[in-house]
């Protein structure tokens, strides 16, 4: 037996006795040496916070006993060291904080108690769009338009940075949140209040997991949960299973980190890791740079895990120095990690911990690949792309099918662009974007793309002018080394000018396509293609006119742009024919690994990172010139269509009301599998015939001023109308795609918002039926807030993605799950029934509840309130209501 828990404090260095760290005599505890490194971070956080009444000694013991209790739904608290936000989720978070201050004041409390108590960094990266491209002034024009559209939002965020302590805003034009976190914000080890402890983070973006690649444990949460964390509330989590992912061997010469992560994504989707940690180990990890690891960790949401952790090793320490971090602090970081047994040597198998399950990948088996046409997990080897796409053309409508009649597979539509004649067919590339922190954070693939562009231009290859090409780096450092290494001019010659520093095409901010291109696609009902170096390609996300979208490495994005189609076999067919009549194949211009490494070692240097990041908070003159009010309580402008006080806290009292049975609910929507948060709450353009458009028009706006749903997340009136407004929504009540449903009392087919309003006016509660993986994708809290405002009281699904289930709980919407072996089909549910969900007075986590139908049938479902804390939130009507009552009392 190990010693009973005693929290000890020791100095890290006898010469600096004030700099201490918490020690459990862990290294003498046999349980500790077998713990996965990711679980060790949870343990450190518990030890650090165990004086807090929210974290008890039993919690520490439970974590130490992870191997024994991992399958027993043991609940533990986790208080991360930091929170990061991006502006699409950050604006509604600040709106909520402002409204919560008002609510606390109304209840007689101190409104300034609503304030972050841990560091919170908000990076503005989601607002800029690709309105201009293929011109030298694209960057400036896009940034000017970004400020013109979003000035009111930005002024509100600047107010928030002044009104709330511990909240820092990284202005627009600085980069993408996760790349800025990797290169600048992450500490790896915190040095605060005289103590060292591991850095950890949650973020209001699902790809927060990217920082796991540096050894900082982090994952995405909904904005609602992040707000509670900022106010001091720990995350209540079931102690997770940890899947050990063993990497072996060496990669082949032509393989990139993108190919590795797409391979892993498909593999882990097949393994099934939803709700689990994945921890990478094995000698193959030592072959990967931090940028490679960050790429793999970034796409953790796409394979469904909570975290994708790479423990800190000497390569991590070297990366901190390479990116310009203070050398003395880095050495203290290393010393601390050694002292607590958290510095990893991946080549030393004696350090391998115990895992719930171990799966392996030999890196030598990875081949160049893409993923698509509609999901990140649908990996396709580049050598199979042509055949795979042509098979998808004729296949039944679905994730791998477009159901195009065989006699139309070779249809061609001719069109004119800028005075020249061109033609489009199925598979024609119309968007080619080097975008997203997933890949632009990795110098090897970015310099690889630059060197490929150089060789392509020198070989006489070009990109057709109608293809919308763009380059949106995740930080200014990327432009710096591309320019210094001499490849930027070649990228520009192929149309890949820098168009902005933000997420852009990856999140659907791809801007308009040329009108003649859109007309040709529409006329021929063509399956046009987008190729991007992003992390998601769900239907309707990248652009409304690209029905097929493929994820690819930056060099492959350029290759497909040059080819102009995905219906090409690169091994047998040339990319193009130059002016001399010579056929140029992809192998002729693909740079070698040695070429890339030589350029990277010369031009990616610490001085670049220091120069870019030392002025990151002040470099944007437009941001500096913004005037923001200085009041601690926000003065709401009733005329604003961007910022509006939300109705979530209207009528809130200190007294709790017991949850009631949901009686005779109608089904608003009936879905199949893989309904994403993009389907539930789209972020892109506002369609001119939508309820949101009608509302904005009634407020005096023109379509040009609509902006996007993502930019309107500070206004609940727009967002409620935008809920389930995705043009690719597939509702089983209808025989066509679109954001509509059947209003059963009248039998009419209506826009989803209009149907929900009718139900609400008649006093009818609503539920949603769904299949597997409900709520996959982005962490957006409006995918829970929106249904709540529509009157949805519960969702009944086969399974949930982790963040969305948590968001539903946070809004007081019940996530119900069919028992194993049951679903709507086995129970004979059509969705046309009315549902009564019995909510008992005494509830417990994951209990079965009875559901009665108006046809007399009865069945049971699991109420996915997974912890006692989640039950508390639910009984309060949601997590924010709980926090307001706590602060007010």
Task: Give the DSSP per-residue string, 156-192.
Answer: HHHHHHHHSTTEEEE-TTSB-HHHHIIIII--SEEEE
Q: Does 100 share its domain with 19?
A: no
Residues 773-796 have pLDDT tens digits of 999 877 788 999 999 999 999 999
Q: What's the pLDDT score for residue 1?
A: 34
Above 90 in pLDDT, residue 171?
yes
Residue 463 lies in a domain: yes
Query: Could you tell me the pLDDT band of residue 728, with boundaries at 50, 70 and 90?
Result: confident
Q: Do 497 and 491 form a contact (C-beta atoms < 8 A)?
A: yes
Q: Is 700 helix (H, G, I), strand (E, B) or coil?
A: coil
**β-strand 379-381 against 369-371: which pairing, if any?**
antiparallel
The 10 Å CB-count burial string (b at 16+, else e) for 175-197 is: bbbbbbbbbbbbbbbbbeeeebb
Angle between helices 802-810 and 782-790 (to 10 degrees): 50
Q: Tokens 């699991």 label which residue?
A: 862
Q: Does 43 share its domain with 124?
A: no
Above 80 in pLDDT, residue 804?
yes
Query: Could you tell me the pLDDT band of residue 7, with boundaries at 50, 70 and 90?
Result: low
Q: Does 114 share its domain with 131?
A: yes
Q: Does 388 share its domain with 420?
A: yes
CB atoms within 10 A of CB 758: 15
Q: What's the pLDDT score for residue 4?
A: 42
Boundary residue ending a domain (60, 78, 96)? 78
Residues 223-249 have pLDDT tens digits of 888 998 999 888 888 899 999 999 999
Q: What value does the mean pLDDT of the chain take?
A: 93
- The count of domains in the chain is 4
Q: Tokens 């539903």 label which residue?
A: 808
Boundary residue ending a domain (27, 55, 78)? 78
With helix as H, strand as E and coil as C, how does 312-344 read?
CCHHHHHHHHHCCCCHHHHHHHHHHHHHCCCCC
Residue 184 lies in a domain: yes
Residues 527-548 have pLDDT tens digits of 999 999 999 998 888 998 999 9
Residues 401-451 have pLDDT tens digits of 999 999 999 999 999 999 999 999 999 999 999 999 999 999 999 999 999
Residue 223 lies in a domain: yes
Query: Could you tell me the pLDDT band of residue 53, with boundaries at 50, 70 and 90?
Result: low
Residue 207 lies in a domain: yes
Which of 585-594, 681-690, 698-707, 759-768 bottoms out in mean pLDDT, i.e. has the lowest?
681-690
* Distant-in-sequence, close-in-space partners of 269: CB < 8 Å, separation ≥ 6: 302, 303, 304, 377
C-alpha closest to that of 501 among 59, 813, 45, 125:
125
Q: Tokens 């399950």 label which residue?
A: 357
Q: How far apart are CA 469 and CA 712, in angstroms?
A: 27
Q: How far apart are CA 506 and CA 502, in angstroms?
A: 9
Q: How far apart are CA 205 and CA 87, in angstroms?
A: 10
Q: How far apart are CA 70 and CA 60, in angstroms?
A: 14
| pLDDT, average across residues 756-774 | 97
**pLDDT above 90: percentage of residues in the chain:** 83
Residue 270 lies in a domain: yes
Residue 22 lies in a domain: yes
Query: Could you tell me the pLDDT band of residue 761, with boundaries at 50, 70 and 90?
Result: very high
Query: Could you tell me the pLDDT band of residue 8, with boundaries at 50, 70 and 90?
Result: low
C-alpha closest to that of 153 among 215, 111, 94, 230:
94
Residue 640 lies in a domain: no
Q: Does 49 share its domain with 196?
A: no
Boundary residue ending a domain (54, 78, 102)? 78
Q: Does 394 share its domain with 446?
A: yes
Q: Is 83 helix (H, G, I), strand (E, B) or coil?
A: strand
For position 476, which CATH number holds?
3.30.499.10
For position 753, which CATH number holds?
3.20.19.10
Q: How far apart are CA 874 and CA 844, in angstroms?
A: 12
Q: What's the pLDDT score for residue 579?
A: 87
Above 90 in pLDDT, residue 29?
no
Q: Does 544 share its domain with 399?
A: yes
Q: Does 26 share its domain with 133?
A: no
Q: Do 752 and 740 form a contact (C-beta atoms < 8 A)?
A: yes
Above 70 in pLDDT, residue 131?
yes
Q: Do 214 and 189 form a contact (C-beta atoms < 8 A)?
A: no
Residues 315-370 have pLDDT tens digits of 999 999 999 999 999 999 999 999 888 999 999 999 999 999 999 999 999 999 99
Q: Is 837 helix (H, G, I), strand (E, B) or coil?
A: strand
Q: Does 669 share its domain with 607?
A: no
Q: What's the pLDDT score for residue 569?
A: 97
Residue 325 lies in a domain: yes
Residue range(s) defining the domain that contains residue 708: 662-888
Q: How far apart are CA 167 and CA 157, in angstroms?
A: 10
Alpha-carbon distances, residue 661 vs 654, 655, 744, 841, 864 (angstroms): 22, 19, 22, 10, 16
Q: Does 65 share its domain with 88?
A: no
**β-strand 548-551 against 529-532: which pairing, if any?**
parallel
Q: Does 540 share its domain with 448?
A: yes
Q: Does 575 share its domain with 549?
A: yes
C-alpha closest to that of 865 among 885, 830, 827, 837:
837
Above 80 in pLDDT, residue 312?
yes
C-alpha closest to that of 13 among 200, 191, 216, 217:
191
Residues 554-576 have pLDDT tens digits of 999 999 999 999 999 999 999 99
Residues 838-854 have pLDDT tens digits of 999 999 999 999 999 99
What token pair was written down for 203? 């973020």
831: exposed, middle or buried (Cβ count in 10 Å: 0-12, 13-18, 19+)? buried
Q: How far apart are CA 190 and CA 192, in angstroms?
A: 6
| pLDDT, average across residues 691-720 | 94
Q: What's the pLDDT score for residue 708?
A: 87
């Amino acid at each position: 037996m190990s010693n009973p828990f005693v929290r000890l404090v020791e100095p890290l260095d006898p010469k600096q006795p004030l700099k201490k760290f918490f020690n459990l005599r862990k290294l003498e505890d046999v349980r500790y040496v077998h713990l996965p490194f990711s679980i060790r971070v949870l343990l450190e956080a518990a030890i650090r916070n165990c004086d807090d009444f929210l974290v008890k000694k039993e919690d520490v013991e439970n974590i130490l006993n992870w191997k024994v209790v991992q399958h027993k739904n043991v609940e533990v608290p986790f208080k991360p060291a930091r929170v990061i936000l991006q502006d699409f989720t950050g604006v509604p978070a600040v709106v909520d904080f402002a409204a919560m201050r008002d609510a606390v004041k109304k209840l007689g409390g101190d409104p300034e108690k609503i304030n972050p108590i841990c560091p919170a960094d908000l990076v503005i990266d989601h607002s800029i769009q690709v309105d201009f491209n293929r011109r030298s002034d694209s960057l400036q024009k896009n940034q000017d338009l970004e400020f013109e559209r979003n000035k009111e939002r930005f002024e509100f965020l600047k107010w928030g940075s002044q009104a709330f302590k511990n909240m820092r805003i990284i202005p627009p034009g600085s980069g993408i949140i996760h790349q800025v976190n990797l290169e600048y914000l992450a500490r790896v080890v915190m040095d605060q209040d005289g103590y060292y402890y591991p850095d950890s983070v949650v973020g209001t973006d699902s790809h927060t997991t990217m920082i796991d690649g540096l050894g900082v444990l982090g994952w995405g949460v909904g904005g609602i949960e992040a707000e509670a964390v900022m106010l001091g509330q720990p995350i209540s989590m079931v102690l997770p299973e940890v899947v050990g992912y063993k990497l072996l061997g060496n990669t082949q010469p032509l393989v990139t980190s993108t190919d590795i992560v797409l391979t892993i994504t498909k593999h882990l989707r097949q393994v099934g890791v939803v709700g689990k940690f994945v921890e990478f180990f094995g000698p193959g990890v030592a072959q990967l740079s931090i940028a490679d690891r960050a790429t793999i960790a970034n796409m953790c949401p796409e394979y469904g895990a909570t975290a994708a952790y790479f423990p800190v090793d000497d390569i991590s320490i070297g990366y901190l120095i390479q990116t310009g971090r203070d050398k003395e602090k880095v050495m203290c970081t290393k010393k601390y990690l050694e002292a607590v047994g958290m510095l990893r040597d991946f080549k030393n198998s004696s350090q391998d911990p115990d895992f719930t399950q171990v799966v392996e990948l030999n890196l030598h088996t990875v081949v160049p690949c893409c993923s698509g046409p509609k999901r990140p997990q649908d990996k396709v080897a580049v050598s199979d792309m042509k055949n795979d796409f042509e098979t998808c053309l004729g296949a039944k409508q679905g994730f791998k099918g477009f159901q195009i009649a065989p006699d139309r597979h070779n249809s061609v539509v001719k069109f004119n662009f800028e005075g020249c004649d061109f033609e489009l067919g199925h598979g024609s590339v119309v968007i080619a974007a080097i975008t997203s922190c997933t890949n632009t954070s990795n110098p090897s693939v970015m310099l690889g793309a630059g060197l490929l562009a150089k060789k392509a231009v020198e070989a006489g290859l070009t990109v057709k002018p109608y293809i919308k090409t763009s380059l949106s780096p995740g930080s200014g450092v990327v432009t710096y080394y591309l320019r210094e290494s001499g490849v930027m001019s070649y990228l520009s010659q192929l149309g890949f000018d820098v168009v902005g520093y933000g997420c852009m095409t990856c999140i659907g901010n791809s801007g308009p396509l040329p009108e003649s291109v859109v007309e040709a696609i529409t006329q021929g009902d063509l399956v046009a293609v987008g190729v991007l170096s992003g992390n998601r390609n769900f239907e309707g996300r990248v652009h409304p006119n690209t029905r097929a979208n493929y994820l690819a490495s930056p060099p492959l994005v350029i290759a497909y742009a040059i080819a102009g189609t995905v219906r090409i076999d690169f091994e047998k067919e040339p990319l193009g024919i130059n002016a001399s009549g010579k056929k140029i194949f992809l192998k002729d211009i693909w740079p070698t690994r040695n070429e890339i490494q030589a350029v990277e070692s010369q031009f990616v240097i610490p001085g670049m990172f220091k120069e870019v990041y030392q002025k990151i908070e002040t470099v944007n003159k437009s941001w500096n010139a913004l005037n923001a009010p200085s009041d601690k309580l926000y003065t709401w402008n009733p005329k604003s269509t961007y910022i509006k006080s939300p109705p979530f806290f209207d009528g809130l009292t200190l007294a709790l009301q017991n949850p009631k049975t949901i009686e005779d609910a109608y089904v608003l929507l009936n879905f199949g599998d893989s309904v994403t948060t993009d389907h539930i709450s789209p972020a892109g353009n506002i369609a001119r015939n939508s309820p949101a458009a009608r509302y904005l028009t009634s407020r005096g706006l023109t379509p040009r001023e609509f902006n996007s749903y993502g930019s309107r997340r500070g206004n609940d009136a727009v967002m409620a109308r935008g809920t389930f407004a995705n043009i690719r929504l597939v509702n089983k009540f209808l025989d066509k795609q679109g954001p509509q449903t059947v209003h059963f009392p009248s039998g009419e087919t209506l826009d989803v918002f209009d149907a929900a309003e009718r139900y609400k006016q008649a006093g009818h509660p609503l539920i949603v039926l769904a299949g597997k993986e409900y709520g996959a994708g982005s962490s957006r809290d409006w995918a829970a807030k929106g249904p709540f405002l529509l009157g949805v009281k519960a969702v009944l699904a086969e399974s949930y993605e982790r963040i969305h289930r948590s968001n539903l709980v946070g809004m007081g919407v019940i996530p119900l799950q069919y028992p194993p072996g049951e679903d709507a089909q086995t129970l004979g549910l059509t969705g046309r029934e009315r549902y009564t969900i019995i909510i008992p007075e005494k509830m417990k986590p994951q209990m079965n509840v009875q559901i009665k139908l108006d046809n007399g049938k009865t069945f049971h479902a699991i109420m996915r309130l997974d912890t006692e804390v989640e039950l508390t939130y639910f009984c309060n009507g949601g997590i924010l209501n709980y926090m307001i009552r706590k602060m007010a009392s």
